[in-house]
Structure formats: structure tokens, C-alpha cells
Structure 1
Amino acid sequence: MLNYILNKTGYALLTLFGVTTVIFFLFNVLPGDPAQMMLGQNESEEQLQAVRAKYGFDKSLTTQYFYYLNDLSLVSFHSFNKEDYTYLSEEKYNAITLLNVAETQIALKTPYLRESFQKNGQKVSSVIAETLPNTFVLAVSAIVVALIIGVFFGIISALKKDSALDKAIQILSTLGMSVPSFFSAILFAWFFGYVLHKYTHLNMTGSLYELDDFGEENRLQLKNLILPALVLGIRPLAVVIQLMRNSLLEVLQQDYIRTAKAKGLSSTQIIRKHALKNALNPVVTAISGWFASMLAGAVFVEYIFGWNGLGKEIVDALNTLDLPIIMGAVLIIALMFIIINIFVDVIYGWLDPKITNN
């Protein structure tokens, strides 16, 4: 099992290195001067030169690439020259010096995701730390909605196989998979937040925390979570319904279910005590993979509902060409994909030892 985990971790690190490389070169071949993006339209040539030197924009693309890898690495190499980009500044790096070799300082640090072009030099890590928890709450809520509603309707669909109700549920679940999330978000916001507002008391837009009427403190607004969680959960909901239905139908054909029926157990008792647990296995497996997709798929949903999460931050950064935030956010999402995939692979290996031996 240990070798299996180490192999998966090795592949994950190679994947992360590939993603990092693609992200860097993709965003650094775009037209435009990053220094001008940071300073705006009122810059002087002296200011441009100072910014280029400070952030390493005056170096070759290859050198900038190694600077970027050095910033992201846990163990990094730094110059003693204060004018050099790699100087171990406390403003940039949260680091501990390990040792000094000649004119190079080797340090252990947290990954440095650079600074925002548009937020007055705010660190990208700070921006992500402020918005990622909201996205995480939204993704978890969407998964919970998909599980609860999906399992319920999946059971109903299986028990009423080939009936009008079963066909209606299948049509609705297929429709849920095919409708784009941004369209569902617009539709839900308009219908439940505007047309039915006096009944639902839900807002078309709003985040988890909002300033009170006096602008003095942030207040928790859980009702703003309802619509975006429902919209984001529609696609996994449709998958859960289909998986639950098919899995339960398969389980109900097993011999031990026939034995339970012969003992006189009711359908409810059979489902609750015998069939449900085994039928949930493929559902739980699929949901674990969907969770990472929720983080990436929340981009347009958050933007439409005004949810202050990582997805909305990415859209805002795209509108203002705030490249460090875009690159940092994409890296974080990729890292979470990788971590979740490793976790799922380890679970697979634990459930089926044959996998770890291949």
C-alpha cells in the first residue's frame, strides 16, 4: 500500500509540475506589458523600469520561468543582493533559512503566488484565502443537496421502474445534465429571486457574509446560499439519480434480497436495512470525484449570484487582466483536483487490494 501511495504521489507531483508549466507559458505569451497592467495609464518610463526590475519582468522568459518555480517551491534558492528578484524579503516570503552556500541562501517557505496587479499589491495568497472558504462552503452545500435529493428520487425511480413517474424523473435528470450551469443560474435568480421574491424572500444576488445597513459589520446570510447551491448541485444531482436508480435495481436482484422478501420484510425495511447501503457505493465514489469539479464549475454560478468566492474572483481578474490572481487560482484548483484524486485512489486501493498489487 505504501508503494502504491508513493507512486500516486509521484504522478501527482509530475502532473502539478506540468500544470504549472502550462499556466506560466500560457499567460506569459499574452500580448501586453505586465508593468503597464500594474501601473495603469499614468506611468512614467522610470516607474515602468522599476516595476520590471522588482518583479523580474526585465529578464528572459526562461529566467522568469525559473523564478516562478522558485517562488512556488517549498525549498527555494535566494540571492543576498537586495536588488535581485530572488532576495529573501520578509514582505514577499514567509521563510526559514536552512543554510547558506556561497552567495546563495537556501530556505524553507510557503509557496509565493506573487502579488495582484490591480489590488494595490495585495498578495494572491491573501485573496485566495479570503475567497476559497466561500467556494468550499458552496461546493459542499451543492454536494449535500445532490446527495439528499438524488438518492431520494433515485430510490423512487427504482421502485417505480418503467412507470410514468420513473420516466418523468429520468427526463428531468437528463435535462439537468444538459442545461448549462450559467443558464440555470440566470433562470433561478430571475424566477426565485425576482418573480417569487415576496414568497421566497430570496435575493437575486448575495454572498455568505454581507455588510449590515450601517456598513459596520459582516453578517451571516445563509439564505443567499440556497439558490447557488441548488444550481451548482443540478448536474451532480442528475448523475446521482441515474446511479442510484441503476445500482438499486441491480442490488434488488440479489439472492439475499429475495431471502429478505421471503421472510416477510416490507419493501421499506428491505431498502433501509439491506439494499441501500450496498447501492450507495457507486454513488459515494462518483460524488468524491464531483467535489473537485464543483470548485471549478462554480466560476459562472458565483459570478451571476454575486457570491464572493474564488470563481467570482477569477472572472473579475479576467476582466481586469489580473494575471497573478488567475494563475494562482487555477493552480489552487488544480492542486485540489490532484489531492482529491489521490484520496479517491487510496480509498480504491483500500477497498480492493488487487489494485495496489497491479
Structure 2
Amino acid sequence: MTGYVLQKIGYAFLTLLGVVTVIFFLFTVLPGDPARMMLGQNESAEQIAVVKKKYGFDKPVGIQYVNYLNDLSPISFHSTHVDDYSFLSEKKYSAVSLFTLGDTRVALKIPYLRESFQKNGKKVSAVISETLPNTVVLAISAICIAMLLGIVLGIISVLFKDGWIDKGIQFISTLGMSVPSFFSAIIFAWIFGFLLHEYTGLNMTGSLYEVDDFGEGTHLQLKNLLLPAIVLGIRPLAVVSQLMRNSLLEVLNQDYIRTAKAKGLSMYTIIKRHALKNSLNPVVTAISGWFASMLAGAVFVEYIFGWNGLGKEIVDALNTLDLPVIMGAVIVIASLFIIINIFVDVIYGWLDPKISEQ
């Protein structure tokens, strides 16, 4: 089991390294001069040269890439010379010095995602820490809605198998998987936040916390969570519903279910006591994968509903060419996706030892 876990961690490290490499060259080399993006088009050549030297943009691309990896790594290497590219000497982040080898200091630190181009030098980690919790709340709410409604709809489909209710649920599930999230967001915001606002009390846009009209602080607005959570949960809801229906039908064909029917138990009792638990395995598998995907899929939903999460922050950063924020957000989402998948794989290996032995 230990070897299985270490193997998964090794694959995860290589995957994350590949993501970081692609992100670095995609957003550092291709867009143009990052120093000019920070200062604008009307700044002097002297100011641009100062920024390039400060952030290491005057170095060759290979050196910039190594420096970027050094910033992201928890264990990093820094020159003891103040005039070299060394964020330790410039106090850009806090680090604990482990030991020194010649002119190189080895330090332990929190991964450094650098600074925003457009937020007056604000650290990217601070930007992400302010917005990521809202995205996690939205993703968890969407998953809960998808799981509860999907399981219920799947059971109803089985109870009315091949009837008009079953066919209607299957049609809605297929439609839910086919319609893009941004289109669903526009429709839901227009219908429930505008046309039916008088009856629903819901807003077209709004975040989890809103500033008071009189400037007396922020207030929790849970009603703003409802529409984006439903929209974000539509596609996984459709998947869960279909998986639940198919899995439950397969379980109901087992011999022990026939025995339960022969004893005179009702279909409701059979599903509740015997079939439901054994039908949830594929549903749990789907939910674990969808949660990680939602962190990335919430981009357009958050932007349309004005939800102050990481997805909306990514869109705003794209509009202003705030490359460090984009890069940092993508790396954080990729890391969360990898961590969740490792966690799920380890659980599978623990539940079924044959998997870890392969």
C-alpha cells in the first residue's frame, strides 16, 4: 500500500510539473513584455528596465523558468549575494533558512505565486485566499444539490421504469448534460432574478458577502448562493441521476433482491434496506471527480452571477492581462484537482487491495 501511495504521489508531481511548465511558457513567453504590461505603454525605458531587473524579466527564458520553479517549490535555493535574483534578500516572502552551501542558501517556505500586475503589488496568494473560499462554498453547495436531487430522481426513474415520468427525467438529464453552464446561468438569472424577482426575492447578481448600503460593513447573503449553485449543479445532477438509475436497475436484478421480493417486501422497502447502499458506488466515484472539475467550471457561472470567487477573479485578470493572478489561479486549481484525485485513488486502494497491487 505504501508503494502504491508513493507511486500516485510521483505521478501527481510529474503532472503538476507539466502544468506549471505549460502555464509558464504560455503566459510568460507568448504574451509579450511583462514589464510593459505592469507599467503600461507610456512608461519610460528606464522604468521598464528597473522593473525587469527587479522581477528577473531581463534574464534568459530558461533562467526565468528555473526561478519560477524556485519560487513555487517549498524548498528553494537562493544566492547569498544581495544584488542577485534573490527574493529572500528583497524580503518578498517569509522563509526559514535551513543551511548554507557556499554561496547558496537552502530555505523552507510557503510557495510564492508572485505579485499582481494590476493590484498595486498585492501578492497573488492573498488574492486567491480572498476568493477561493467563496468558490469552494459554491462548489460544495452545487455538489450537495446534485447528489441529493440526482439520487432522488434516479430512484423515481426506477420506480416508474419505462413510464412517462422515467422518460421525462431521462430527457431532462440529457438536456442538462448538453446545455453549457454559461447559457443556463443567463437563463436562470433572467427568469428567476429578473422576471420572477417579485416572487422569488432573488437577485440576478450578488456574492456571498455584500457591502451594506450605508457602509457599515459586509453582510452574509445566502440567497445569492441559490441560483449559481443550482446552475453549477445541473450537469453533475444529470450525470448522478443517470448513474443512479442504471446502477439501481442492475442491483435490482441480483438474486438477493429476488429473494426479498419473494418474501413479500415492497419495492420501497427493498430499495431502502437493500439496493440503495449497493447502488451508490458509481455515484460516489462521479461526485469525487465532479467536485474538482467544478472549481474550474465555475469561471463563467461566477462571472455571470457576479459571485466574488476565484472564477470571476480569473476572468477579471484575463481582461486586464494580470498574468501572475491567472497563472497562480490555474496552478492552485490544478493542485486541488490532483490532491482530490490522489485522495480518491488512495481510498479505492484501501477499499480494494487488488487495485493497489496492480
- Answer yes or no: same fold by TM over 0.5: yes
| Distance of 1:25 and 1:224 partners within structure 2 | 38
Alignment of 1:26-37 (within 5 A): 26-37=26-37
Is 1:340 the equivalent of 2:314? no
2:76 touches 2:107 (CA, 8 Å); kept in 1? Answer: yes
CA deviations on 1:46-77 (whole Å, 9 max, x unpaired) are 21111100000011100000000000011101
Residue 136 of structure 1 is matched in structure 2 by 136
Using the TM superposition, name which of 253-262 and 124-133 deviates more.
Answer: 253-262
Residue of structure 1 in register with 2:155 after alignment: 155
Retained in 2: the 8 A contact 1:80–1:87? no
Native 8 Å contact 1:134 1:308 kept in 2: yes
Amino acid at match of 1:181: S
Residue 164 of structure 1 corresponds to which residue in structure 2? 164
Identity %: 75
Which residue number corresponds to residue 239 of structure 1? Answer: 239
Paired with 1:304 and 1:346, the residues of 2 have a C-alpha distance of: 37
Question: Which residue number corresponds to residue 314 of structure 2?
Answer: 314
Deviations 1:90-149 (Å, cap 9, x if unpaired)?
Answer: 641221000111111110001000100000000000000000000000000000000011
Question: What is the aligned partner in structure 1 of residue 101 from structure 2?
Answer: 101
In the alignment, which residue of structure 2 is the partner of 1:277? 277
Q: What is the RMSD computed on CA atoms of the aligned residues?
A: 1.0
1:83 equivalent in alignment to 2:83: yes
Output the TM-score relative to the length of structure 2: 0.98
Structure-1 residue corresponding to 2:188: 188
State the alpha-carbon separation in 2 of the partners of residues 134 and 101 from structure 1: 43
Does 1:9 pair with 2:9?
yes
What SS does the aligned partner of 2:270 have?
Answer: helix
Equivalent residues of 2:207, 2:308 under 8 A apart: yes
Paired with 2:213 and 2:28, the residues of 1 have a C-alpha distance of 43
| Residues 342-351 or 226-235, more deviating | 342-351
| Segment of structure 1 superposing worse, 13-22 or 343-352 | 343-352
In structure 1, distance between residues paired with 2:159 and 2:350: 32
**Equivalent residue number for residue 224 of structure 1:** 224
1:136-183 CA-to-partner distances (Å, cap 9, x unmatched) read: 000000000000110001000011111011111101000000000000
Q: Which AA in structure 1 matches 2:84? A: D
Q: How many residues align?
A: 358
**DSSP-derived class of the 2:215 partner:** coil
Asked if 1 retains the 8 angstrom alpha-carbon contact of 2:28 and 2:34, the reply is no
> What CA distance in whole angstroms lies between the structure 1 residues aligned with 2:82 and 2:289?
46
CA displacement 1:189-248 (0-9 Å, x = unmatched): 000000000000000000000111112211110000000000000000000010000011
**2:250 corresponding residue in structure 1:** 250
2:323 matched to 1:323? yes
Please report how far the alpha carbon of residue 89 of structure 1 lies from its aligned counterpart in structure 2 after TM superposition.
3.9
Paired position in structure 2 for 1:56 = 56
Q: State the partner residue of 1:205.
A: 205
Q: Structure 2 stretches of 5 or more lacking a match?
A: none
State the alpha-carbon separation in 2 of the partners of residues 41 and 103 from structure 1: 38
Once residues 99 and 88 of structure 2 are traced to their aligned partners in structure 1, the CA distance between those partners, rounded to angstroms, is 13
Aligned residues of 2:135 and 2:310 also touching (Cα < 8 A): yes
CA contact (8 A) 2:87 2:93 kept: no
Q: Could you tell me which amino acid in structure 1 is paired with residue 223 of structure 2? A: K
Equivalent position SS for 1:63? helix
Q: Distance in 2 between matches of 1:254 and 1:135?
A: 41
- Corresponding position of 1:145: 145
Gaps of 5+ in 1: none
* TM-score, normalised via structure 1 length: 0.98
Q: Return the alpha-carbon distance in structure 2 between the equivalents of residues 31 and 259 of structure 1.
A: 67
Q: 1:167 to 1:87 in 2, by over 3 A?
A: closer
Query: Residues 272-297 of structure 1: CA distance to partner in whole angstroms, max 9, x if unpaired?
Result: 11111011111011110111000010
Distance 1:337 1:31 in 2: 26
Whole-angstrom distance in 2 between the partners of 1:138 and 1:345: 24
Q: Which moved more, 1:43-52 or 1:185-194?
A: 43-52
Aligned counterparts, 1:30-45, within 5 A: 30-45=30-45
Q: CA deviation at 1:42?
A: 4.0
- 1:1-21 deviation per Cα after TM superposition (whole angstroms, max 9, x unaligned): 111000000010011111111
Provide the secondary structure at the position in 1 that maps to 2:247.
helix
Aligned mates of 1:181, 1:355 — CA distance in 2: 35
Say whether the 8 Å CA contact 2:150–2:237 is kept in structure 1.
Answer: yes
How many Å apart are 1:31 and its aligned residue? Answer: 3.5
- In 1, Cα distance between equivalents of 2:100 and 2:49: 30
